[in-house]
């Protein structure tokens, strides 16, 4: 998982549970991301996704300017260790029916990996293997 996190940009797309949802949504648009990592007292506490906002807004029917991130965010994010395999993380995503996994190295939060990150990583590995086989057979 470290290899995937290292290839991602530093994860500065964070917010706190006390921020207003409309501000968080604006931040997501500006940073061109579909989720924000929610940090409280320097600790990971969950994520806020566009999906979370849409679902909550439809259910609560409260203006975005009156809702706090803590009311909308997902606190039940599956956790993987930095040494877990891609296959294990894919199984976690499937088992929890989610698109994001929090990655820890021991007790240290390292970042969030999405299903898209795992797919990209898997495809890049397959492409590299395919190119090696093709080069070995002198097809290139």
Whole-prediction pTM value? Answer: 0.81
**b vs e for 29-41, b when ≥16 Cβ sit within 10 Å of the residue's Cβ?**
eeeebbbbbbeee
The span from the CA of 127 to the CA of 72, in Å, is 39
Dump the DSSP string for the chain: -HHHHHHSPP---EE-TTSBHHHHHHHHHHHT-SEEEEEETTEEEEEEEHHHHHHHHHHH---GGG-BHHHHSB----EEETTS-HHHHHHHHHHHT-SEEEEEETTEEEEEEEHHHHHHHHHHHHHHHHHHHHHHTT--
- 2-136: CATH number: 3.10.580.10
* Mean pLDDT per 10-residue interval, the chain, length 140 residues: 74 90 94 93 95 86 90 95 93 94 92 91 73 56
Q: Identify the pLDDT of residue 9.
A: 63
pLDDT confidence of residue 131: 59
Domain map of the chain by residue range?
Answer: 2-136
Predicted pLDDT of residue 41: 95
Could you identify the residue written with the tokens 């940090």?
39
């Amino acid at each position: 998982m470290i290899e995937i996190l290292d290839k991602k940009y530093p994860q500065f797309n964070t917010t706190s549970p006390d921020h207003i949802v409309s501000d968080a949504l604006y931040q997501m648009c500006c940073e061109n991301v579909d989720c924000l990592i929610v940090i409280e007292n320097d600790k990971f506490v969950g994520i806020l996704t566009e999906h979370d906002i849409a679902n909550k807004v439809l259910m609560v029917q409260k203006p975005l300017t009156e809702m706090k991130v803590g009311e909308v965010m997902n606190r039940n994010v599956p956790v993987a260790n930095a040494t877990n395999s891609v296959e294990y993380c894919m199984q976690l995503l499937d088992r929890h029916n989610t698109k994001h996994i929090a990655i820890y190295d021991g007790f240290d939060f390292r970042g969030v990996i999405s299903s898209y990150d795992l797919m990209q990583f898997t495809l890049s590995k397959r492409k590299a293997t395919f190119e090696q086989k093709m080069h070995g057979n002198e097809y290139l």
